């Protein structure tokens, strides 16, 4: 399909304007560029989308909240962190997206995550808008009591902005079941409401959904398998490199093992472990989920098959499939070149925006199947939406039912991205497919609801 140059001009002008109005937010620029780079064909084919203001509105958050979070450590010293909630787009449902607690968090990071979330949530086909939040608080090395006091202080401001019909936060890096528990407790105390649907990722006994902790990793492996099936292959017997060792990485390893694949690696900020016999899931869970330890301990306790590579990157380990599951921009051009050299067949993003744009282009040029995070890792937020549905109905589904729904949603996302890419003349390009399919759904709702 030929692209009308005026849609490309419109997108280029918007891109410059966004850079000018949002200085010093490189991750936000990157996330916006990745989407705008793929929209020209759809704006050319459907003139209603080129209406002045539509794409501009989509790139501007509906609301951005920044607040002070003071808290006391165990020695009584006062710390001051910064809290964020970016409510990006609510055309399809209440704002939905996680909270990230990590020292790198700033407004630009939260905006990139919120922007991605809008498209990701649209792709699930469920009724959820997009938002994201967090803080530059570092939970690493903090006691439970410190984490609790921080979460209570954070919620003491956040509670006035959220609600089951308004904005529904969940976890992300640094925010898991423990943090969601403290946040929910403080929300309940302040509001005097037992409002289960205000947060997702809750404990199983008090409103949480089965399979929520597993969902992002499981979903990403299902997406990778769907891409391989398009090429007449599956995951059975394939080797895989996984980065990270948090929730997403752990359940990626679990699903890979269940499907007969061989996950070789895990990592954290200090380096990676490679295990020739395949990652031992029980040991990994014991170290990361129970003891909250470092990944180097895995190699110390596993024996001869495993070794720790300090400071290294998992992408240097030869494998059939790569599943980046740590954080943004963790896989650059050089890493991509190494993976391609070693014959990688599929790369599927468990984290948000882990591959740099140069890495993505390199994979695509080399004919590697590439699943962008907004499609491939949507299983987590999809099961969050199922948690909201269960909360609303005051019921709890069986793990088997949630898993079946998750598999159906991931298959729907894969098919939608695949078909959309074909429809717009980019067969096999899941980046274009995901961006355009997510865009169409949000844009249709925004057009129907008028200029707001």
Q: Catalytic positions, please?
A: 132
CB of 202 to ligand GLU, least distance (A): 11
Using CB under 6 A as the binding rule, the residues of this chain from 414 to 443 that contact ligand GLU are none
| Contact string 71-110 vs ligand GLU (x = CB under 6 A) | -------------------------xxx------------
- Segment near ligand GLU (CB under 6 A); pick from 3-11, 68-76, 273-281, 376-384: 376-384
Nearest partner of 387 among 409, 402, 400, 373, judged by Cα = 402
Q: How far is the CB of 16 from ligand GLU (least distance, A)?
A: 28
Out of 262, 384, 391, 416, the only residue in the binding site for ligand GLU (CB under 6 A) is: 384
Closer to ligand GLU at the Cβ: 131 or 433? 131
371 in contact with ligand GLU (CB under 6 A): no
The distance of closest approach from Cβ of residue 173 to ligand GLU in the complex, given in angstroms and rounded to an integer, is 8
Interatomic CA distance for residues 207 and 200, integer angstroms: 8
The pair of three-digit structure tokens given for residue 126, joined into one six-digit string = 């469920």
Query: Do 436 and 41 touch, CB atoms closer than 8 A?
Result: yes
**Minimum distance from residue 408 beta carbon to ligand GLU (Å):** 18
- Closer CB to ligand GLU, residue 41 or residue 83? 83
Do residues 452 and 390 make contact, with C-beta atoms less than 8 angstroms apart?
Answer: no
Looking only at residues 224 through 263 of this chain, which bind ligand GLU when binding is defined by CB under 6 A?
none
Q: Rounded CA gap, 266 and 3, in Å?
A: 42
Residue number with CB closer to ligand GLU (172 or 280): 172
Our finding on whether 352 is near ligand GLU (CB under 6 A) is yes
Sheet hosting strand 239-242, strand order edge to edge: 262-263, 239-242, 321-323, 346-348, 369-371
Closest CA to 22 of 76, 61, 75: 61
- Report, in Å, the least distance between residue 316 CB and ligand GLU: 27
**328 touching ligand GLU, by CB under 6 A:** no
> What are residue 72's DSSP bridge partners?
78
Of 150-158, 235-243, 340-348, 379-387, the segment contacting ligand GLU by CB under 6 A is 379-387
Please answer whether residues 221 and 234 qualify as being in contact, where contact means their C-beta atoms are separated by less than 8 angstroms.
Answer: no
Query: What track of x and - describes contact with ligand GLU for positions 153 through 172 (by CB under 6 A)?
Result: -----------------x-x
Query: Nearest residue to ligand GLU, using CB?
Result: 98
Q: Which of residues 180-209 bind ligand GLU (CB under 6 A)?
A: 200
- Inter-helix orientation angle 430-448/399-423, to 10°: 100
Nearer to ligand GLU, 254 or 280 (CB): 254
* Shortest CB 326 distance to ligand GLU, Å: 13
- Token couple for 22: 């949002």
Task: Tell me whether residue 159 or residue 308 sits nearer to ligand GLU (CB atom).
Answer: 159
Distance CA 321, CA 426 (A): 22
Q: In whole angstroms, give the CA distance from residue 22 to residue 70.
A: 27
Q: Which long-range contacts (CB under 8 A, 24 or more apart) does 160-165 make?
A: 161/63, 161/65, 161/85, 161/87, 162/85, 162/187, 162/198, 162/199, 163/94, 163/195, 163/198, 164/94, 164/195, 164/196, 164/197, 164/198, 164/388, 164/391, 164/392, 165/94
Q: How far is the CB of 200 from ligand GLU (least distance, A)?
A: 5
Which CB sits closer to ligand GLU, 83 or 97?
Answer: 97
Judged by CB under 6 A, the residue of 125, 134, 380, 438 near ligand GLU is 380
The Cα–Cα gap between 253 and 398 comes to 22
Q: How far is the CB of 280 from ligand GLU (least distance, A)?
A: 26
Q: How far apart are CA 423 and CA 332, in angstroms?
A: 30
User: Measured from the CB atom, is 58 or 110 closer to ligand GLU?
Assistant: 110
Smallest distance from ligand GLU to CB 79, Å: 24
**Rounded CA separation 221/403 (Å):** 13
Q: What share of the chain is helix, strand, coil (3-state, %, to 5)?
A: 50, 15, 30
CA distances in angstroms from 6 to 41, 60, 376, 437, listed in the order given:
11, 22, 32, 21
Task: Specify the residue, 41 or 93, whose C-beta has the smaller distance to ligand GLU.
Answer: 93
Residue from 344, 381, 386, 402 binding ligand GLU (CB under 6 A): 381
The residue (of 47 and 399) whose beta carbon lies closer to ligand GLU is 399
Query: What is the CB-side half-sphere exposure of residue 147 using CA atoms within 13 A?
Result: 19
Outline where 286-356 has alpha helix (H): 296-302, 333-341
Which stretch, 6-14, 237-245, 380-388, 444-452, contacts ligand GLU (CB under 6 A)? 380-388
Number of shown-chain residues binding ligand GLU (CB under 6 A): 10
Name the site residues for ligand GLU (rule: CB under 6 A). 96-98, 170, 172, 200, 352, 380-381, 384
């Amino acid at each position: 399909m030929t692209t009308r140059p005026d849609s490309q001009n419109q997108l280029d002008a918007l891109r410059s304007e966004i850079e000018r109005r949002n200085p010093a937010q490189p991750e936000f620029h990157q996330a916006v560029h990745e989407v705008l780079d793929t929209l020209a064909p759809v704006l050319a084919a459907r003139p209603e989308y080129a209406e002045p203001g539509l794409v501009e509105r989509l790139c501007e958050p509906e609301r951005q909240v920044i607040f002070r979070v003071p808290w006391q450590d165990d020695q009584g010293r006062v710390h001051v962190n910064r809290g964020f909630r970016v409510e990006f787009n609510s055309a399809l449902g209440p704002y939905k997206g996680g909270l990230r607690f990590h020292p790198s968090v700033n407004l630009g990071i939260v905006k990139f995550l919120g922007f991605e979330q809008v498209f990701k949530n649209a792709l699930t086909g469920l009724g959820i808008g997009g938002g994201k939040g967090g803080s530059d608080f570092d939970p690493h090395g903090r006691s439970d009591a410190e984490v609790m006091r921080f979460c209570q202080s954070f919620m003491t401001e956040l509670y006035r902005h959220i609600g089951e019909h308004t904005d529904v936060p969940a976890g992300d890096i640094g925010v898991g079941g423990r943090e969601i528990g403290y946040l929910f407790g403080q929300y309940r105390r302040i509001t005097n409401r037992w409002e289960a649907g205000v947060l997702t990722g809750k404990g199983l006994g008090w409103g949480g959904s089965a399979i929520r902790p597993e969902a992002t990793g499981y979903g990403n492996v299902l997406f990778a398998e769907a891409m391989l099936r398009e090429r007449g292959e599956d995951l059975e017997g394939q080797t895989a490199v996984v980065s990270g060792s948090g929730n997403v990485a752990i359940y990626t390893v679990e699903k890979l093992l269940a499907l007969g694949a061989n996950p070789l690696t895990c990592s954290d900020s200090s380096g990676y472990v490679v295990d020739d016999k395949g990652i031992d899931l029980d040991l990994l869970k014991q170290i990361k989920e129970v003891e909250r330890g470092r990944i180097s301990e895995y190699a110390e306790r596993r024996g001869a098959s495993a070794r720790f590579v300090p400071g290294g990157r998992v992408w240097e380990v030869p494998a059939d499939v790569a599943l980046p599951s740590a954080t943004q921009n963790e896989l650059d051009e050089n890493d991509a070149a190494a993976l391609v050299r070693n014959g990688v067949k599929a790369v599927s993003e468990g984290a948000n925006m882990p591959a740099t744009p140069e890495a993505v282009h390199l994979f695509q040029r080399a004919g590697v199947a590439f699943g962008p995070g907004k499609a491939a890792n949507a299983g987590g937020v999809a099961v969050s939406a199922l948690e909201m549905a269960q909360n609303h109905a005051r019921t709890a589904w069986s793990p088997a039912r949630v898993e079946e729904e998750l598999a159906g949603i991931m298959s729907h996302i894969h098919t939608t991205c695949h078909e959309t890419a074909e429809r717009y003349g980019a067969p096999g390009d899941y980046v274009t497919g995901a961006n355009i399919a997510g865009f169409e759904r949000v844009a249709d709702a925004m057009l129907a609801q008028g200029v707001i």
